[in-house]
Amino acid sequence: MELTAWQKICHRIIGKPIKKKARADKELSKTLEQAAIPLMPEVYLATNIVTSIAVFLACIGVIVIVFFPSIGVIALYESMPDPETETPCKIWEYWNPDKAAAGKVAGLPGNGCPDYQTLVFPNYLTILIPVMFGFLIPYGAFKYFKGGAKREANARSMALEKYLPYAASYTAAMSAANATPQKMFRSLAMNEDIYGDIAYDSAMIYRDVTLLGFDLLTAIKMSVDRAASPWLTEFFQGMVGTLTSGGNLKLYFLNRAEFYMRENRIRLQVFLETLAMLAESYVVVAVAMPLFLIVMLVIMFWVSGSGSQMSESFLYTIIMGVIPAIHVAYALLVWTMSKEQDM
């Protein structure tokens, strides 16, 4: 994989000083392998560090722009007249034209109006902006970039567990046709559109055997460390144990395929039950509750007139704010859960 321009710059800046430390980090190297990120540890680490520093410098730039004297955002904001004093100052200028003219010539603020005031920047923002841009955003960016490989590994783990039941069934079928494990891995590697990330791990095993000259057992043992999913690790370890002991590989594949299919059915059943519970709560919260609330308000208005005490803005907030927000929240929740089941 060719490095991007930004990765080359980051590696050139601090790649060499951290090379030894990065390559000594076995956990980082293993995470990169599990995440299928084709980068050397020092390149990945250098990119994360330099990017985090760039974000920190950008945040410092924002703070400088906000707090810079005379021309900063706060200075410009506090130089603007307060709209609440505009009308009193116009009245004062109308009744005191001579004083207003003299103040204008002298360059006094508000032409010398005694009621003239400028806007005051909120005190909580003067505290919130440095805390947010000086600490929270840089620290959050550093943690986000640092955990990129781990997130990718977790995503691959979930994807592998979705595809593994079908890949195990395929290997069982090929084993029943007396296909060799090498041919199985080659066939899986050539069908990435069907078996997803399983194809990548199979391609690595096939590469180790055919290109790098490792024997099949060694290649499968090496793939155990690369496997991002506990299921795939168990699957490869079982293959090694079966081949080493001279067991029946066909029977092993059949047992594993049955086990993974059963676990997959359980996972889908849990998803459907959760979806059914969400549908019931949606009917209650987003459909029945608003209707009940509207009916109660109408009854209260007819019986005692207390409904008239509610402000118009309150009703608009409920009808145009709260109720649509409930619908959007449920839609996003269902969409997120559905994306987790995508293949």
pLDDT in tens, 277-286: 988 888 888 8
Stretch 247-254: mean pLDDT: 88
Residue 141 pLDDT grade (very low, low, confident, very high; cuts 50, 70, 90): very high
**Under a CB-based contact definition with an 8 Å cutoff, are residues 216 and 209 in contact?**
yes
Beta strands in 7-153 (DSSP E): none
**Rounded-to-integer distance, Cα 76 and Cα 133, Å:** 20
**Under a CB-based contact definition with an 8 Å cutoff, are residues 80 and 116 in contact?**
no
pLDDT in tens, 105-133: 777 787 788 888 888 888 998 999 999 99
pTM score, whole prediction: 0.76
The per-residue pLDDT for 309 is 58
Is the pLDDT at 6 greater than 90? The verdict is yes
Is the pLDDT at 305 greater than 70? The verdict is no
**Rounded-to-integer distance, Cα 86 and Cα 329, Å:** 43
C-beta neighbour count of 172 within 10 angstroms = 21
Is the pLDDT at 175 greater than 90? The verdict is no
The per-residue pLDDT for 7 is 92
Residue 252 tokens read as 């092993």
The per-residue pLDDT for 1 is 63
CA-wise closest residue to 170 among 231, 261, 64:
261
Residue 207 tokens read as 């590469």
Is the pLDDT at 188 greater than 80? The verdict is yes
